[in-house]
Amino acid sequence: MVTNKDINRIKVVLAEKKLTNKWLAEQLGKDQATVSKWCTNNAQPSLEMLLKIAGVLQVDVRELLRPTENDATYIRVPKEFTKK
């Protein structure tokens, strides 16, 4: 079962890409403390911000979310969020 503490995988994706919270904060124009809260799952980004994060990291938004049982959700990332 996924708890509220395990909603996103931003920290995991950053580690896989050898990127830092600070780098992501700079790319998004956000405070580093805000990104840190997202990475530790103490706070969650909005859906719009999650799409921007996916675009910056060049991943499908689904890679940033921890799947739940029987998850059949499909979210398409708009092209405007995938361009650098």
pLDDT in tens, 41-82: 999 999 999 999 999 999 999 999 987 665 555 556 667 766
DSSP annotation of 71? -
Q: CB count, 10 Å around CB of 61? A: 21
CATH code of the domain in which 64 resides: 1.10.260.40
Number of domains in the chain: 1
C-alpha dihedral sign at 27, 53, 44, 1: negative
What is the distance between the alpha carbons of residues 72 and 80, in angstroms, rounded to a whole number?
24
Domain that holds residue 55: 4-81
The predicted model gives 30-39 an average pLDDT of 96
**Which pTM was predicted?**
0.75
